[in-house]
Chain A
Amino acid sequence: MATTPSPPSDAAVASVGSGSDQGALLEVRNLKMHFPIRKGFLKRVVGHVKAVDDVTFSVVRGTVFGLVGESGCGKSTTGRCVIRLLKATAGEIVYTMPDDDPVHIEALDPESLRMMRRHIQIVFQDPYASLNPRLTLKQIVGEPLVINNVSQGQDLQDRVAELLRRVGLSPEHMNRYPHAFSGGQRQRISLARALALNPRFIVADEPVSALDVSVQAQILNLIKDLREEFGLTYLFIAHNMSVIKHICDSVAVMYVGQIVEMATTRELFRKPLHPYTEALLEAIPVPDPRRDRHRIVLEGDVPNPADPPSGCYFHPRCAYAQDVCRTETPPLAEHAPGHTARCHFAAELDLKGMTI
């Protein structure tokens, strides 16, 4: 054993990325989100779905932190807890204010939470569902400005026009309704709305998954440009490893509510330490017909988070599973600087990464 596994709570804070000297903008510590399962006439609680179970990570200022995993792994729930669209069951979410004051988002009262939302915004996956069809672009993009008493009248008009220009839309269209726009344009509108209050942190929840291939590239480039221009920090949630690879500085892989591996993007893709990460990398369809088509395919399905397997949650599907995996839950331990993995054999396995 090269490294001794340390307790997950303090080992899991990966300080990675280019701007690590500036420190973390957001720290999530031991976040838990358990949804009760109610049954029967009295709606008695018979169990819990552990959608997010002890998740710890930190997002360095000015970087893009990716959360990747399959459906039901808790990545979106984590994103929603971070901006408190959901109130977490337990854990700390610490956001560093511009004056370096740490703020505990999980403990804010409604009034301070509203103030807080100026700093943190979210962009959703489905631009057809996240824009109100009865409001014009001006109303949609201007709404945050009006609600927060930032601007009105002509000033509001000018600001909305400027925002629309920033995301590559024509300001003349501000009196139109969302139905007149295509999926990619709608996602631009969502981005304009998110940028209205000059936030510093944006949670992007699968922002390109619902878009066509040719439009996906436009939005990814826009997200990158806006980051440079406004010095934004992103929590980028996605299931597509190629997209993650393209946009993120560091990544956490989630499986059944837990982070199973976390590292810088380069490191994670080059030298995965968790068998699930390896399987995810193997499963990506590669747009190259000359590549060998036959490869290892992960068996079985993602377990039900209401009734996860014993020991390591991944053991029923894992090709390297041993007896210990069935009984003991592995801790999230650091195996290389800034590279943590939740696997008993992370130090011994020689897993296949990408040659990049």
Chain B
Amino acid sequence: MADRAETILEVRNLHTHFHTESGVVRALEGVDFTLNRGQVLGVVGESGCGKSVTAQCIMNMVPSRGRIVDGSVIYHQRNGQGTEAVEITALPPKSREMRRIRGNEIAMIFQEPMTSLDPLYTVGNQLLEAINLHQDVDRTEARALAVHSLDRVQLPEPERVFASYPHQLSGGQRQRVMIAIALSCNPTLLIADEPTTALDVTTQAQILSLMRDLQDETHMSIIFITHDLGVVAEMCDEVAVMYLGKVVEQTDIDTTFYSPKHPYTQALLRSIPRLEDDQDRRLEVIAGSVPDPSSIPSGCRFHPRCPDFVTGVCEQREPVLVQIEKDHQVRCHLYDETASSQPGTQP
């Protein structure tokens, strides 16, 4: 937990487009959120909502066809006594400064531990690569650091794992290695992109508990990207819900689950099967499916599926993100009192 709310990362009005042969795909169309130091922010959404692209933008690693066309990502970096704001989106992706931030300040772990480790190199090799790139240490120190970081992620026999190839490890062990690599340079912000989605339930529970322990120990900030609301409830302090390239709601974890405001958040929570459910209860569903990002509905993007749809408003005007309470923002006409008089104003 943060002692006082000190912002570490601000994402403002981020727009990222991909230029493909079949036209422009507007992957992000207004992503706003802030993350406080020492907090865990969950970014939730269904496939195609842009949660992974958001992570790529924060790392300044948007694939070559994509471009950040508007908005900014500002990282508040600690130096000595104060903090210094670095606008990540203004830095060239391959600049020395950006390379220093990646790894040293912000690190990332991915969904597929299978494909994000190189099968031709030992675990030790891949760990040493990260350490040598970012830290000024000699060979013996680097090796000691590497083995220590494997020990930190609770891998049994770290020396043996150090010498193993990825195929010799199980899925859960590989994800631990990924976490070890990401944490080897003590980043202040960790981005975890669906880190447990490919794992079994009992392994998922292990990895989640490990991440909680490491967070308690290091007080790092985490952006936890997932589609699983159960995982969010277990891990996060804050939640940003995304739908089709926009953040539709951001608030603290308790409000997200107990008094969500956006119709999409509400519907999402009602549609998950719960253990305490009565067997005969029908699940409430969200009508239709997520539209293709190349044919996005007019007005509010959720309006064709929204149970609280208001004709004449929702399909015509795009809602803006409204601050309805301290630390609670919603992008919906239902909560936008100014919408009728001044369409399209920023809160």
Contact = CB atoms under 8 A, between A and B. Distances in A.
Interface of A: 70-71, 182-185, 212-218, 220-221, 224, 239-243, 245-246, 265-266, 269, 279-280, 282-291, 293-294, 297-299, 301-302, 354-356
A298 B229 contact: no
Interface in B193-214: 200-206, 208-209, 212
Interface string B76-118: 0000000000000000000000000000000000000000000
A285 B285 contact: no
A293 B208 CA distance: 10
B160 interface: no
Q: Which A-B residue pairs are the 4 nearest by beta carbons?
A: A285-B230, A217-B283, A283-B205, A70-B200
A282 B256 CA distance: 23
A289 B254 contact: yes
A220 B273 contact: yes
Interface of B: 46-47, 170, 172-173, 200-206, 208-209, 212, 227-234, 236, 253-254, 256-258, 267-269, 271-277, 279, 282-286, 289-290
B133 to A, nearest CB: 31
Contacts of B268: 213-214
Given A221-B283, A221-B285, A298-B202, A242 B229 contact: no
A283 B267 contact: no
- The interface centre, meaning the residue of B201, B232, B233 with most chain A CB atoms within 10 A of its CB, is B201
A217 B205 CA distance: 24
Interface of chain B, main secondary structure: helix
A297 B203 CA distance: 9
25 contacts: A213-B46, A213-B229, A213-B271, A214-B286, A215-B289, A216-B272, A217-B273, A217-B286, A239-B200, A241-B201, A242-B230, A242-B273, A245-B275, A266-B279, A283-B201, A284-B230, A285-B230, A285-B234, A286-B275, A287-B229, A287-B274, A288-B257, A289-B253, A301-B203, A354-B276
B118 to A, nearest CB: 22
B71 to A, nearest CB: 26
A97 to B, nearest CB: 30
B277 A221 contact: no
Contacts of A287: 229-230, 232-233, 257, 269, 272, 274
B206 A297 contact: yes
B283 A280 contact: no
Nearest to B255: A289
Contacts of A215: 289
Given A214-B267, A217-B284, A242-B272, A288 B205 contact: no
Nearest to A281: B275
B277 A246 contact: yes
Nearest to B289: A182
B230 A291 contact: no
Q: Please indicate which of the listed interface residues A185, A245, A288, A302 has the most CB atoms of chain B within 10 Å of its own CB.
A: A288
A297 B290 CA distance: 35
A302 B171 CA distance: 10
A215 B290 CA distance: 9
Nearest to A180: B292
B282 A286 contact: no
Contacts of A265: 279
B285 A218 contact: yes
Given A280-B201, A285-B230, A356 B289 contact: no
Nearest to A243: B273
